[in-house]
């Protein structure tokens, strides 16, 4: 018997680095600003489909009690978070719905082994329309009967997963980097050997669980490891395309690195039929 689908989570990532938005909340509201934000995220995590409907006064009063602030302070903090683009502007101002796209992005891993995907904004709009909370629009017509929200055919998900795996260059633990992102690092001027060494270092780093993006983390580590890269002429190595990286022999790669051939010329020589 299949497990029932879940549309909530038991935990979410918390990033220790303080940004400008959190700094503003604490400066304006003291600890209440930070505490309210965290408690709202907790409510988003445990609530099905990860949105909060505060259109009813009683619901707003209940949330303010949980956050241990007055209703007026709670509304002021939420309005500021909307202005800071932390919460969805349209859904709050039109329907008093709290939706945090950053939060949704942060919990995708929790859904990776489920038969259903995490709800996205378009699916939420359809759900709100079906519940009568939001009126249909041209861009979001009324969903047909029987349309499911947040549920995905398991076979379709398996097919999608296989397609996604083809695009992954390197993955370990909860981190992964696509072939396109790896190519961007090459374009910056780093060699594939340098990049691979950084991947290895991040993989072996005991505290890598705090990282969310292997691509962004790799950029930071590469800049720290090779601070003088941009002060030197860009090496010919960055002219090696991804196709060439995968298919050229070492001899041909060296001829490209030396400037004797371009990636395209080397591929044409090694694979004349192409």
What is the model's pLDDT at position 68? 94
Last residue of a domain, one of 117, 144, 174: 117
| Residue 131, domain member (yes or no) | no
Q: What is the pLDDT of residues 228-254, one digit of tens each?
A: 775 444 444 444 566 666 777 878 777
The answer, yes or no, to whether residue 117 has pLDDT greater than 80, is yes
Last residue of a domain, one of 117, 144, 173: 117
| Residue 266, domain member (yes or no) | yes
What is the model's pLDDT at position 261? 74
233-234-235-236 Cα dihedral, nearest 10 degrees: -120
Residue 191's SS3 state is coil
What is the model's pLDDT at position 211? 82
- Give whichever of 28-32, 142-146, 156-160, 263-267 has the largest mean pLDDT: 28-32
Task: Count how many domains the chain has.
Answer: 2
Last residue of a domain, one of 82, 117, 152: 117
In this predicted model, which residue has the larger pLDDT, 259 or 165?
A: 259
Contacts of 271 (CB under 8 A, 6+ apart): 247
Q: What is the pLDDT of residues 82-105, one digit of tens each?
A: 999 999 999 999 999 999 999 999
**Rounded mean pLDDT, 192-215:** 88
| Residue 143, domain member (yes or no) | no
DSSP track, 149-160: SS---HHHHHHH
Please check whether residues 170 and 265 belong to one and the same domain. yes
Q: What is the pLDDT of residues 2-32, one digit of tens each?
A: 567 889 999 888 776 667 888 888 899 999 9
Which domain range does residue 99 map to? 20-117
Please check whether residues 182 and 113 belong to one and the same domain. no
The answer, yes or no, to whether residue 35 has pLDDT greater than 70, is yes
Please check whether residues 237 and 179 belong to one and the same domain. yes
Radius of gyration, alpha carbons of the chain: 24
């Amino acid at each position: 018997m299949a497990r029932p689908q879940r549309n909530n989570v038991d935990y979410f990532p918390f990033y220790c680095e303080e940004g400008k938005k959190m700094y503003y909340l604490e400066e304006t509201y003291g600890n209440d600003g930070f505490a309210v934000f965290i408690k709202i995220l907790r409510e988003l995590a445990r609530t099905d489909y990860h949105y909060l409907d505060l259109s009813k006064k009683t619901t707003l009063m209940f949330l303010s009690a949980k956050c241990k602030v007055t209703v007026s302070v709670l509304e002021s903090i939420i309005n500021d978070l909307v202005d800071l683009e932390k919460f969805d502007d349209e859904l709050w101002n039109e329907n008093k719905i709290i939706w945090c796209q950053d939060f949704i992005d942060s919990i995708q891993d929790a859904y990776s082994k489920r038969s259903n995907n995490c709800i996205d904004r378009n699916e939420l709009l359809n759900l709100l329309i079906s519940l009568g909370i939001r009126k249909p629009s041209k861009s979001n017509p009324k969903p047909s009967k029987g349309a499911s929200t947040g549920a995905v055919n398991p076979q379709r998900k398996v097919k999608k997963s296989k397609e996604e795996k083809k695009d992954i260059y390197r993955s370990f633990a909860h981190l992964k980097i696509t072939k396109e992102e790896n190519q961007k690092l090459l374009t910056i001027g780093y060699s594939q050997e340098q990049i691979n060494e950084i991947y290895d270092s991040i993989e072996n780093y005991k505290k890598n669980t705090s990282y969310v993006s292997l691509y962004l983390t790799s950029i930071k580590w590469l800049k720290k490891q090779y601070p003088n890269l941009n002060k030197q002429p860009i090496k010919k190595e960055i002219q090696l395309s991804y196709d060439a990286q995968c298919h050229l022999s070492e001899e041909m790669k060296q001829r490209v690195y030396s400037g004797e051939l371009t990636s395209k010329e080397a591929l044409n020589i090694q694979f004349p039929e192409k």
